[in-house]
Amino acid sequence: MPQLDFDNPLLLAQVVWLLIIFGGLYLLLAGKVLPKVGEVLEARAARIAADLEAAQAAKAAADAAMAEMRAAIEKARAEAQAAVAAALEAADAEAQARSEALNARLAAQIAAAEARIEAARNAAMGALRDVATETATALVARLTGSADPARVQAAVDRALAARGSA
């Protein structure tokens, strides 16, 4: 096996060169090359973290705006409802007032009409009494030759009263 031929001076020389090459490679990688690679990876990680942060901030802002909008909608709705309720109440009150005024006017008109009817009836009643008294007096005078107007009037009144109550 050539690998175990330790008399070969090339075998030892190979190890010496190995140490030189490996050491040189280590120094180059550790000193210059790998830190640069690490920088690139760190820059990327930092950029991703910053982007994520920005995205998070944007999301928070969007959420806040959404909440604001929702609150505004809620407020507007409440205002609209209050306005509608106020308008309804005002309309109710007006309608009530108007109907009350109308009722009062109608009641006054009814009362006036009743008074007029009463007056007309009284007038009619008075006229009827005079006519009845005159007729009764004339009838009694023709039948008996004389008549006492006061007694006739009393009799007519009694008869009318009896009719009115009947």
Partner 1 sequence: MAAEGKTIDALSQFELTPALGVLGAAVNFTQSNLHMLIAAAIILALMTWGMRPRAVVPGRLQSLAEASYEFIYRMVTDQVGEEGKRFFPFVFTLFMFILVGNMLGLLPYAFTFTSHIAVTFALAAIVFVLITVVALMIHGRKFFGYFFPEGAPVWLAPIIVPVEIVSYLSRPVSLSIRLFANMVAGHVMLKVFATFVVMLAGLGAVGPFLSVMPLALNVALVGFEVLVAFLQAYVFAILTCIYLHDAVHLH
Binding region for partner 1 (CB under 8 A): 1-4, 8-15, 17-19, 21-22, 24-26, 28-30, 33-34, 36-38, 40-41, 43-44, 47
Q: Which is nearer to partner 1, 3 or 144 (CB)?
A: 3
Rounded CA separation 128/154 (Å): 14
Q: Which is nearer to partner 1, 48 or 85 (CB)?
A: 48
Q: Which is nearer to partner 1, 40 or 162 (CB)?
A: 40
Q: Shortest distance, CB of residue 44 to partner 1, whole angstroms?
A: 6
Q: Shortest distance, CB of residue 76 to partner 1, whole angstroms?
A: 46
> Residue 133: CB partners within 8 Å, gap ≥ 6?
149, 152, 153, 156
Q: Shortest distance, CB of residue 20 to partner 1, whole angstroms?
A: 9
Rounded CA separation 133/158 (Å): 11
Q: Which is nearer to partner 1, 24 or 149 (CB)?
A: 24
> Residue 160: CB partners within 8 Å, gap ≥ 6?
125, 128, 129, 132
Which residue's structure tokens are 């009530």?
96
